[in-house]
Amino acid sequence: MGKSSKPAYTNGVVKINGEEKASQYKDGNTVYSNYNMSDAEQKIYDYAQNSFLENLPKINVFSEDTQKDMQNQLNAYTQKGLETISDIYTPMLNDMKNDIASRFGNFDNSIFMNDLKEIESSRADAMNALTQDILAKQDEIVNNELNRRYNYLDFLNGVQSQTLSNVLSYLQQAANNSNSGNSYNNSQSSSGSSMGDYARLAANIATTLFSRRL
């Protein structure tokens, strides 16, 4: 029986709107996969990668401007708290003074002192609560800034990961196309070889029978 020739390697290609995006081909004994990244894809990927590398080393480092901005937020919160306490307790003190003055004509009495102590004690409690709120707000401002930075890095990492996922998907499709073509070539070569073997076998049998008749 004769020896059949090895089928040629079939390249795999993926095209979108006529533009080749991915390919798989064989050069010598090496199979290569290639992805054609568009200019837009390249810019997006490079931006995400460069921004990630730029921001990662200073993720937990606050610049002078950032510290000032955070302090301004805390000052505004503190001022708002002080104004709220003042709005609550100043009218209370004024009302108490007016009431005592109208009834007794002076503030040198036990009723005034007792009421004053009660209001001052309540205001002191409010100030202590505000101090705790300010400390909690400070932590909140810092955590919000860190979360914003971490979320930005997650976004950049997601952009890179999605780009690479798209590339691998296209390359896999190109490989699948190549494998399909090679499978078809192999099946055709095998079928052709079998048919050739059968034909040669039939010819040999016919020759043998003819020789016997002679």
The 3-class SS string of 142-209 reads HHHHHHHHHHHHHHHHHHHHHHHHHHHHHHHHHHHHHHHHHHHHHHHHHHHHHHHHHHHHHHHHHHHH
Could you tell me the pLDDT band of residue 7, with boundaries at 50, 70 and 90? confident
The answer as to whether 7 is a domain residue is no
Pairing of strands 12-16, 30-35: unpaired
Range of the domain at 80: 12-185
The answer as to whether 156 is a domain residue is yes
Rounded Cα–Cα distance for residues 167 and 151 (Å): 24
The answer as to whether 98 is a domain residue is yes
The answer as to whether 139 is a domain residue is yes
Give me the pLDDT at residue 54, please: 95
pTM: 0.69
Model confidence over 47-82: pLDDT tens digits? 999 999 999 999 999 999 999 999 999 999 999 999
Model confidence over 108-164: pLDDT tens digits? 666 767 777 888 889 999 999 999 999 999 999 999 999 999 999 999 999 999 999
Give me the pLDDT at residue 64, please: 96
The answer as to whether 3 is a domain residue is no
Number of domains in the chain: 1
The answer as to whether 57 is a domain residue is yes
The pair phi, psi for residue 35, each rounded to 5°, is: -125, 130
The answer as to whether 199 is a domain residue is no
The answer as to whether 195 is a domain residue is no
